[in-house]
Chain A
Amino acid sequence: MTDNIKRNENYSRYVNAISPSSSALSSLIKAFIAGGITCVIGEIVRNTFGLIPGITDEQAAVYASVVLVVIAILFTGLGIYDSIGRIGGAGSFLPITGFANAMSSAAMEFRSEGLIMGTAVKMFNVVGPVIVNGIVWSAVAGILRYIIALISGVL
């Protein structure tokens, strides 16, 4: 038994050494470009909406998010987004577009099992953890804020 543990440790060390790894620098650059382009498009949309009289900057920001989400879902449906994701890495899944892609790709994928048992049930398959974490941590943040306010009376 101890022989096996030792054998496995040696093997895992050997495998780590021989397995090719992706270069961190090129991944970072690609992610920066992909994420950067997404943000630039968002800014352009936001500023364009800002030019329309009667739309506040805050509203324009919301519209920009909506436009980005729609584009991401459209690209997912056209089968382009996964190629962007393969190259862009974190640059394509961190922005709001990544969330839209994860949700719409799952919705499409499980469409074959029907609208309810397929799409509706499995839609949050990939993004579920994001939502759960979002809710849990904002609750934690809220409680902390409340406690700090009680103690300090500042907030």
Chain B
Amino acid sequence: MTAKSQTLVFKNRPRIIAGMSVVGDKEGEGPLGKYFDTIEPDPKMGKSSFEKGETAMFSKAIEGAAAKAGMQIFDIGALFAGDLLNQLVSSSYAARDLPVSYFGLYSACSTMTEALSLGAAMINAGYFKTAACATGSHFATAERQYRFPLEYGCQRPPYAQWTVTAAGCSILADSGNGPAITHATIGRVVDYGITDANNMGAAMAPAAFDTVLAVLEDTEMKIEDFDGIFTGDLGRLGGEILRDLCRERGIELGQRYSDCGEMIFSSEQECYSGGSGAGCSACVLNSFILDKMKKHEYNRVLLMATGALMSPTTSFQGESIPAICHAVIMENDL
């Protein structure tokens, strides 16, 4: 371990003043269904293609979050957004209709915390007064890009994950009501040599582990200091692996730890190891986690979205899967 810190400390306490989650049907039927703001029964959102549907879902999340914050879209300082599709089409096409400075980010499924880190840093530094951080993913578009046609009858191993159809947007501001983002730990790319693109939980767990260690070392906090610890989309298997990796170092994550991908689907929904995708952590943060923080059931939360940084091309070339995990710490004013 190096002496340098991976963690940014935000003294000016930029805060999340509003959050909006838009999810698909299947996600709405899951255990978190009642927390989501909008459940969209039509995966195309009335448009002619799934890609256009994903973009529409994305726009809806941003516009909804701004409305909940009591703002006009025009008042948003900057939009930090990303998704899973090549050339970031969903976020960029959604941003096309918004009169807002736009940062397009790709960090696979960890984009939500990358967006929050950058947004919070910009606000903390005083460059912007408000920022919108949004990410989304869509089962149909991700399947097509990363795997097979939708109607193709193929089997997946039991540890595979189901891409979440969802978009989430958080509005950050330099003042207002809501939990403050106090720290952001920027992850390093970690690769433990997993080559099976179906086993993303196993590929990403070491990155989450690396970031857990960095958070604890840089902030000098203990696991017990957090009321909730959430990883983005490790799934059931990845979550278990993270617990094991931490246990080896004498860190017991315990009951306070859960994984957004594991929470979003019940085991009866045939989603194998759980949900995945950039929209997974985004919609759970902007529904369940913010809700619990508002009710002061959680006062300090560590959110660690994890991303697998491979592409189908590198997978076919036999490359292993590099992974990353960015963490943000959110805190209620006490």
Stretch at the interface among B77-85, B143-151, B178-186, B299-307: B143-151
Give B residues with C-beta under 8 Å from A. Answer: 48-51, 144, 148-159, 192-194, 199, 202, 206, 237, 240-241, 244, 320
Residues of A within 8 Å of B320, CB to CB, are 8
Min distance, Cβ A7 to any Cβ of chain B, angstroms: 7
Q: Is the CB of B194 within 8 A of A20?
A: no
Contact B151 A81 (CB under 8 A): yes
Interface of A is mostly: helix
Q: Are B150 and A105 in contact (CB under 8 A)?
A: yes
Whether B192 and A85, one on each chain, are in contact in the complex, defined by CB atoms closer than 8 angstroms, is no
Tell me if A105 and B158 are in contact (CB < 8 A): no
Cα separation A15 to B157 with both chains bound (whole Å): 14
Mostly helix, strand, loop or mixed at chain B's interface?
A: loop
Q: Does A82 contact B (CB under 8 A)?
A: yes
Within 8 Å by CB of B193, from A12, A92, A104, A108, lies: A12
What CA separation (Å) do A105 and B154 show in the bound complex? 11
A146 is an interface residue with CB less than 8 A from chain B: no
Chain A residues near B152: list those with CB within 8 A: 82, 85, 101-102, 105-106, 109, 126
The answer to whether A11 and B206 touch across the interface, beta carbons within 8 angstroms, is yes
Interface size class on chain A is 35 or more
Of all A-B residue pairs in the complex, the 5 with the closest CB atoms, nearest first, are: A85-B153, A8-B193, A109-B149, A105-B151, A105-B149
On whether the beta carbons of B159 and A89 are closer than 8 Å, the reply is no
Smallest CB separation, A45 vs chain B (Å): 21
Inter-chain contact B154/A85, CB cutoff 8 Å: yes
Report A's interface with B, CB cutoff 8 A. Answer: 7-9, 11-12, 14-15, 18-22, 76-77, 79, 81-86, 88-89, 92-93, 98, 101-102, 104-106, 108-110, 112, 125-126
